[in-house]
Each structure stands twice: as structure tokens, then as C-alpha cells.
């Protein structure tokens, strides 16, 4: 029972560790909005955003980002929030990244 409580404490500590929640918007080589199947955005969490973005550029880290890079798509950092993994989870659960993306919202108003 003690190991279960210890594991829960570690999980709670990780979920509440402060870092950066970030939103990436996928683009083609011409800089236009692009999608990989259903996904046009990636929402993630990083303790060190600069390092995490370099990992994504190299196709390492999240599988979706690796596939996006393999397909020749690019991404642009669209938005950041100071927060924890619990904020990342809340934003992901909304399942509405385009609404959170200032690049996509600007494109809607330009059209």
C-alpha cells in the first residue's frame, strides 16, 4: 500500500510541475495551414521549451510530430501558456486547438 501512495505522490508532483504548455500549428513549405490526416495542431508541455522544439524539429519526442516532419510539413509555435501538465490535459480535453490558435483565428478574420 505504501508504494501505491508513493507512486500517487510522484504522479501528482509531475502533474503540478510548472513549465510551458505550447501549441504548434502545422504548415506546408509555402507557409499555408496544413494537416496530417485529422491533425492541424499539436499541444504539448515542456520544462524547457527551446529544447523540446529542437526535438520536434528533429522528429523526436511525440509520434505525431515525427510523422509530421516525415511528411515534409513544418510547424510554427502559435501560443504558449505558463502552467503544468494538468493545464495541458485540460486544454487537450477541450479538443478545439484551432480556437486556441491565434494563427488560425487570424486566418478566419482575413477570409
- Residue-level pLDDT at 4: 54
Distance CA 20, CA 110 (A): 29
What cell was used for 47? 520544462
Decide which of 50 and 8 is more confident.
Answer: 50
Q: Which of 64, 72, 67, 57 is nearest to 27 (CA)?
A: 72
Please state the pTM of the whole predicted model: 0.79
- Helix-, strand-, coil-residue percentages of the chain, each rounded to 5: 50, 25, 25
| pLDDT number for residue 10 | 45
Cβ(62)–Cβ(88) below 8 Å: no
The confidence score (pLDDT) of residue 29 equals 87
pLDDT per residue as tens digits for the range 51-73: 999 999 998 889 999 999 999 99
Amino acid at each position: 500500500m505504501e508504494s501505491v501512495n508513493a507512486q500517487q505522490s510522484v504522479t501528482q508532483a509531475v502533474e503540478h510541475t510548472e513549465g510551458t504548455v505550447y501549441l504548434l500549428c502545422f504548415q506546408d513549405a509555402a507557409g499555408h495551414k496544413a494537416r496530417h490526416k485529422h491533425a492541424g495542431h499539436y499541444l504539448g508541455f515542456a520544462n524547457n521549451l527551446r529544447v523540446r522544439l529542437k526535438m520536434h524539429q528533429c522528429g523526436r519526442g511525440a509520434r505525431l510530430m515525427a510523422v509530421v516532419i516525415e511528411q515534409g510539413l513544418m510547424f510554427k509555435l502559435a501560443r504558449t501558456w505558463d502552467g503544468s501538465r494538468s493545464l495541458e490535459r485540460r486544454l487537450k480535453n477541450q479538443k478545439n486547438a484551432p480556437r486556441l490558435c491565434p494563427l488560425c483565428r487570424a486566418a478566419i478574420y482575413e477570409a
